[in-house]
Amino acid sequence: MSFLQKTKNWLLSWDNFRHVYLFLCLIYFMPSSFDVEYIPLWICFGWGSIIIAVDFFTERKMFKQNYWYILFAMGVVYAVSILLNFEHQFERGVYNWVYLVTSFFVLYPIDPDQAKEDTIKNLIKFNKILLGTVFVASFISVIMFVFQVGYIIPSGDASARQGFVASRLFGIYTSPNVGSIFGVLSIVGSIINNLTERKKWYSFTIIGWINVAIQYLFFLLASSRGTQLTITVFVILCTLFIAIPRMKQQSEPKAKQWGRLFIQLGVFLILLTGGVGTFKDGLGYVPGAIRGVRDIGKTEEVRKEESLKREEVEKVIIQHSPDDAEVSSGRFTIWTAAIDVIKQFPLFGATDAYFYRDGIEVSQQIDESKLSTLDKNELKRAHGNMHNVYIQTLIMSGIIGFLVMAVFFILHLKDNILYLLSYKSYTVDYQIVAIMFFLLLSLFAEDFVESHIIFKVKDVVAIVFWYYLGLLQHFRKNKLFTDGVVKE
């Protein structure tokens, strides 16, 4: 095969695109990178479009994926929304549409002719890119807490907080919630790699174990309720449909197995909820202790001079918000404002949810007389992020778009449940499929308070979601990871 042919094959590979795009989107969520990913991401914007165009006019493998026609219909529905809002949202709508179809026809499809070994190799590589990048970013972020580093970076219409700011760890991410959920994805990706490479979910490498510790610290310091919800749903599903069923097929005394399970769940609950306050209190003393160690050996005059230049705090407060007030963190008022807008664009939506982009004070697209002052202020504050993927879908594509996507996801839900039920034993293959599926369900739960899965550009959670969803349908169609499946 010639060099040009190899280059062409590499560039037209869905997997290569996913790997590069994942890394660049991870960097995109790190404002301290100073937009080094800006031009490469624009190249990816065109690269994904070229992959779709070439496949459409040649092999059309994207149309061999399960329920591709529903995704195609969704592309048409959103195109109609763009046309209906042509005067106000055409440019932004086209931009969103390209990213939407890239998710549908580049991130979701898996080459039906790809060998199982190549599929596994690409999955492992994808997860390692996620693990490596998130590990480095989270490690730097935790160090920023230890040394109490915090600063502001101008970012678009707003500014990005970095380091430990306002009693929460932003680190080098755009928000505590983002860094925290990325950590969960990196750990689940590591578990999948452990199963595919070493056949045991807990067979972490040294870096894998260190990453678990770092991500737990980030989780505590970030105080992310959305991530807490995601972890809770994921662990409940894994306990009910992996841990307990596997106990039934083992010869070990049941009392011993149940005892071990209850101890593990107890430790988990302490780490996730009950012990969090205690752990946070302990972590609050770390920066002061580190500062004390650094001051050893310094003269009294030097210590006094340095103390005048900084605010001496014996204990750092770590909390979601002052007095942990308002569980929804203002989301209810954003959702109320969004629903009032949805009423104005019920069928095909408003195309984009950022009505006050570029400092616009009065929107010409929506009828502001039907909105309260609070509604308008909340829409401005949200910057187009409705913090709920279901409301996000409604406001951008209307009831029609929402129903189309609901049908697509319900069909996948049905297929995956039936596929898990086809296993007669709880093998490693079952665990791989189940963990991927349970992660997707957990992300659906998280997206009640966040918005990642659809209509978010350059979103890492969306990349993982659509890739794993595509892999699951590929496994079913090509009968991969079938050890333990009831043979028909």
Instruction: Give pLDDT tens digits for 329-381.
Output: 678 999 999 999 999 999 999 999 999 887 788 888 999 999 999 999 999 99
Residue 203: inside a domain, yes or no? no
As given in the structure block, the two tokens for residue 4 are 């040009």
Residue 21: inside a domain, yes or no? no
pLDDT at position 373: 92
Residue 219: inside a domain, yes or no? no
Cα–Cα distance for residue pair 96/90, rounded to 1 Å = 10
- Read off the pLDDT of each residue in 424-451 and give the average, rounded to a whole number: 95
Whether 33 shows a pLDDT value over 70: the answer reads yes
pLDDT at position 280: 81
Cα–Cα distance for residue pair 127/186, rounded to 1 Å = 7
Between 9 and 250, name the one with better pLDDT: 9
Whether 397 shows a pLDDT value over 90: the answer reads yes
As given in the structure block, the two tokens for residue 292 are 């004390």
Residue 179: inside a domain, yes or no? no
- pLDDT digit string (tens) for 35-72? 899 999 999 999 999 999 999 999 999 999 999 999 99
Cα–Cα distance for residue pair 176/159, rounded to 1 Å = 15
As given in the structure block, the two tokens for residue 424 are 């007669």
Between 146 and 265, name the one with better pLDDT: 146
Lowest mean pLDDT among 252-256, 418-422, 454-458: 252-256
Per-residue pLDDT band for 430 (boundaries 50, 70, 90) equals very high
**% of the chain beyond a pLDDT of 90:** 71
CA-wise closest residue to 183 among 239, 246, 133: 133
The end-to-end CA distance of the chain, in Å, is 41
The set of residues, in sequence order, having a beta carbon less than 8 Å from that of 123 and lying 6+ positions away, is 192, 196, 471
Residue 450: inside a domain, yes or no? yes
- pLDDT digit string (tens) for 205-239? 999 999 999 999 999 999 899 999 999 999 999 99
Cα–Cα distance for residue pair 286/210, rounded to 1 Å = 19
pLDDT at position 302: 55
> Which pTM does this prediction carry?
0.94
Q: Mean pLDDT, the chain, as a whole number?
A: 90
Range of the domain at 401: 60-109+329-488
CB atoms within 10 A of CB 273: 11
The residue type found at 83 is L
Looking at the structure of the chain, the number of domains it has is 1
Residue 405: inside a domain, yes or no? yes
pLDDT at position 297: 56
Lowest mean pLDDT among 138-147, 151-160, 252-261, 302-311: 302-311
Cα–Cα distance for residue pair 360/456, rounded to 1 Å = 21
Residue 86: inside a domain, yes or no? yes
In the DSSP assignment, the letter for residue 46 is H
- Read off the pLDDT of each residue in 161-179 and give the average, rounded to a whole number: 94
Whether 307 shows a pLDDT value over 70: the answer reads no
CB under 8 Å, gap of 24 or more: what pairs does 473-479 form?
473/65, 473/66, 473/110, 473/412, 473/415, 474/65, 474/110, 474/112, 474/119, 475/419, 475/433, 476/66, 476/415, 476/416, 476/419, 477/66, 477/112, 478/112, 478/116
Helix spans in 241-372 (H)? 244-248, 254-269, 276-283, 286-295, 300-309, 331-342
Cα–Cα distance for residue pair 99/93, rounded to 1 Å = 10
Residue 393: inside a domain, yes or no? yes
Whether 301 shows a pLDDT value over 70: the answer reads no
In the DSSP assignment, the letter for residue 369 is G
